[in-house]
């Protein structure tokens, strides 16, 4: 869910594989969320292809709900021990969006499920407000206060 009216696509996709997880250096570094789902500059229209698409476009100004998908069928991402797939939170996307994802992988032999790290509970996955959210709110309140003061000065000379 996108609570803000502006472009949400500048979060670069970064995939850290095996030893690169500890190094903190992405093995694969993309150019933006919209490029990751193969829809350069936006998901404003419905588009469905076999391995990528936009099921629910954001519409004008990319506000509200957007749903898109990307399957790595023709370009699998191989890993041996660890993989971390992220969407960057960087210079041009100080937002409070609510993202969710699903990952599927195939393995030859079974593994003990207790060896996998525990997932965060629902409260641990809730979106956190960023400083920019408070700045926007403060800016709106300040603008409203200026308008009220101007009206008072204009009405009461």
Q: Quick check: 48 pLDDT over 70?
A: yes
Predicted confidence at residue 5, as pLDDT, reads 60
Span 75-88, mean pLDDT?
88
Q: Which long-range contacts (CB under 8 A, 24 or more apart) does 62-71 make?
A: 62/2, 62/5, 62/6, 62/7, 62/8, 62/9, 63/2, 63/4, 63/5, 64/1, 64/2, 65/1, 65/2, 66/2, 66/8, 68/37, 68/39, 68/43, 69/37, 70/36, 70/37, 70/38
Tell me: the pLDDT tens digits for 8-41?
Answer: 666 788 899 999 999 988 999 988 888 888 887 6
Whether pTM > 0.75 for this model: the answer is no
Q: 91: pLDDT confidence band, cut at 50, 70 and 90?
A: low
């Amino acid at each position: 869910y996108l609570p803000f009216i502006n472009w949400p696509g500048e979060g670069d996709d970064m995939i850290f594989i095996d030893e690169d997880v500890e190094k903190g250096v992405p093995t694969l570094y993309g150019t933006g969320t919209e490029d990751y789902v193969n829809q350069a500059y936006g998901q404003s229209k419905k588009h469905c292809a076999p391995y990528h698409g936009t099921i629910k476009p954001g519409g004008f100004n990319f506000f509200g709900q957007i749903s898109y998908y990307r399957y790595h069928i023709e370009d699998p991402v191989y890993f041996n021990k660890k993989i971390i797939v992220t969407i960057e939170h960087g210079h041009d996307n100080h937002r409070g969006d609510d993202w969710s994802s699903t990952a599927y992988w195939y393995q030859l032999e079974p593994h003990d499920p207790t060896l996998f790290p525990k997932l965060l509970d629902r409260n641990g996955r809730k979106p956190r407000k960023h400083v920019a959210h408070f700045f926007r709110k403060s800016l709106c309140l300040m603008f409203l206060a200026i308008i009220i003061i101007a009206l008072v000065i204009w009405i009461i000379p």
